[in-house]
Structure 1
Amino acid sequence: MPASVAGPAPMPHQPADRILSTLKTRGALGIPDIAKVLNVTVEAVRQQMAKLQAEGWVDAESRSSGRGRPTQIWRLTGEGHKRFPDTHAEMTVQMISAVISVFGEKGMDQLIAAREATMRANYAEAMRGARSLESRLARLAEIRNREGYMAEFRPDEQSPSDGFLFIENHCPICTAARACTGFCRSELQLFNEVLGPHVAVSRVEHVLAGARRCAYRVEPRANA
């Protein structure tokens, strides 16, 4: 199966932003690994990391790999994660609280359902002409990237049925989702619908459960 990958939405091409984007999308890495991803020298990355650490955007820990010196692994700090947009922050939480206060949980469910219906129509339109699972995942990644999710997909090496992992490296509605988990349930349901009846989608990593990202296993159904 071809290893087709839809890349995450780009950040500005400043050296610091490229490093932060790499750590956001790939998780904790050593300086040589970052240099390899960005196709720059180790020394160039080391200089940038010193600046980023001084500004509080990254930190490092030492990991022992057996013999030799421990390896330094770098990751984003909380402030580093804040460099990426959150389009639903305090005002969104206040609005959610107000809706629940005035209309109750049922009213909040209706609001989420209305949002889901709009998204379903938009996503279904984007899927027109995409017949294979791979092409539909590519379309979905494009849509979600425009919405700020830094989405990508790749073959799932642990899947026995030629499945994929659909990965979202950023959650622009994380604040809203923490206030109302119905948004997460709605989006999982939406993925199952727009990718088609012959596909099963399950969430295997979840930001709200403490993961770095949200990831979904996408597999053809056994009886399809």
Structure 2
Amino acid sequence: MNMMTTTQQHSTKQDILQYLLKRHQARAQELAEALDISPQATRRHLKDLQGEGLINYESVQIGMGRPQHIYRLTSQGRDRFPNSYDQFAISFLDTLAETVGPEQVSQILHKQWQRKAIEYRQRVGTGPVGDRVAKLAEIRQAEGYMAEWYAVETQGEAATGEQRYILTEHNCAISSVAESFPSVCGHELEMFAAVLYDCTVERTHWLVNGEHRCGYLIISH
């Protein structure tokens, strides 16, 4: 097998993992159609990924036909995506908590998010809300959060002037920290509210709670 073929296979497998991360689950046929590869090649890649422990599947009966496999990422598969804070950060924060106490650590983390909010606010600028949400999603995407956004159409929007947006993050770049110190998720919500100062920001989904994404509803005033 030549180097180009090996590289293409690696890229396709990564595409499958990324699709499962974003969609939470998928059938082989859905993956084949979404990624524009043959069903045979898709099943071969899925078998390889399962052998590596990166995905698993559940057999589901749909209609009168044969059971179909629904594929999902394992925790090992999710770990393949960017995670900018590793176990060193956890160990450091644990040591800090033992030294100065949990309340001091919470204050330090809050201060860190306040600094991050100032940085983000400067980078997103002061344009229309939609432009700022798009810029924020772009920044978070670059930091490994696999962020997406879209506008939500609501009745009466033209009359009230209210605009709604959804910001979704399919990967948490600080998942290890969030699992050990869940307060950082609250600070993150506060940070988004500070960046989008003229909006109300509400959490709709939460990875730490076992959901497959973090989601935020942004409502302009």
Q: If the length of structure 2 is used for normalisation, what is the TM-score?
A: 0.85
Note if contact 1:96-1:179 (Cα within 8 Å) is conserved in structure 2. Answer: no
3-state SS of 2:37 partner: coil
Greater mean deviation of Cα atoms: 23-32 or 35-44: 35-44
Structure 2 unaligned segments of length 5 or more: list them: 1-8, 158-162
1:47 to 1:13, Cα distance in 2 relative to 1, 3 A:
closer
% identical aligned pairs: 29
User: How far, CA to CA, are the matches of 2:155 and 2:71 in structure 1?
Assistant: 29
3-state SS of 1:155 partner: strand
User: How far, CA to CA, are the matches of 1:147 and 1:22 in structure 2?
Assistant: 18
Provide the residue aligned with 1:94 in structure 2: 91
Note if contact 1:156-1:217 (Cα within 8 Å) is conserved in structure 2. Answer: no
Which has the bigger relative contact order, CA under 8 A and spacing at least 6?
A: 1
Provide the residue aligned with 1:216 in structure 2: 216
| Cα shift at 1:42 | 1.9
1:31 to 1:124, Cα distance in 2 relative to 1, 3 A:
same
User: How far, CA to CA, are the matches of 1:187 and 1:157 in structure 2?
Assistant: 26
Amino acid at match of 2:202: S
1:34 to 1:170, Cα distance in 2 relative to 1, 3 A:
same
User: How far, CA to CA, are the matches of 1:204 and 1:57 in structure 2?
Assistant: 27
| Cα shift at 1:146 | 1.7
Q: Can you list the C-alpha shifts for 1:163-191, whole angstroms capped at 9, x where unaligned? A: 22211111111111122122111110111
User: How far, CA to CA, are the matches of 2:76 and 2:102 in structure 1?
Assistant: 33
Greater mean deviation of Cα atoms: 205-214 or 121-130: 121-130
Provide the residue aligned with 1:155 in structure 2: 151
Note if contact 2:144-2:173 (Cα within 8 Å) is conserved in structure 1. Answer: yes
1:218 to 1:67, Cα distance in 2 relative to 1, 3 A:
farther
3-state SS of 1:177 partner: helix
Provide the residue aligned with 2:39 in structure 1: 42
Structure 1 unaligned segments of length 5 or more: list them: 1-11
Q: Can you list the C-alpha shifts for 1:81-119, whole angstroms capped at 9, x where unaligned? A: 121132222221121112222222332133113211221
Note if contact 1:35-1:41 (Cα within 8 Å) is conserved in structure 2. Answer: yes
Note if contact 2:25-2:71 (Cα within 8 Å) is conserved in structure 1. Answer: yes
| Cα shift at 1:73 | 1.0
Give 1:113-192 correspondences, 5 Å limit. Answer: 113-131=110-128, 133-156=129-152, 163-192=164-193
User: How far, CA to CA, are the matches of 1:207 and 1:158 in structure 2?
Assistant: 26
User: How far, CA to CA, are the matches of 1:106 and 1:136 in structure 2?
Assistant: 33
Note if contact 2:118-2:195 (Cα within 8 Å) is conserved in structure 1. Answer: no
Q: If the length of structure 1 is used for normalisation, what is the TM-score?
A: 0.84
Amino acid at match of 2:30: D
Note if contact 2:206-2:214 (Cα within 8 Å) is conserved in structure 1. Answer: yes
Q: Can you list the C-alpha shifts for 1:30-69, whole angstroms capped at 9, x where unaligned? A: 1111122212222221121111112211111122222322
3-state SS of 1:29 partner: coil
Count, aligned residues: 208
Provide the residue aligned with 1:103 in structure 2: 100
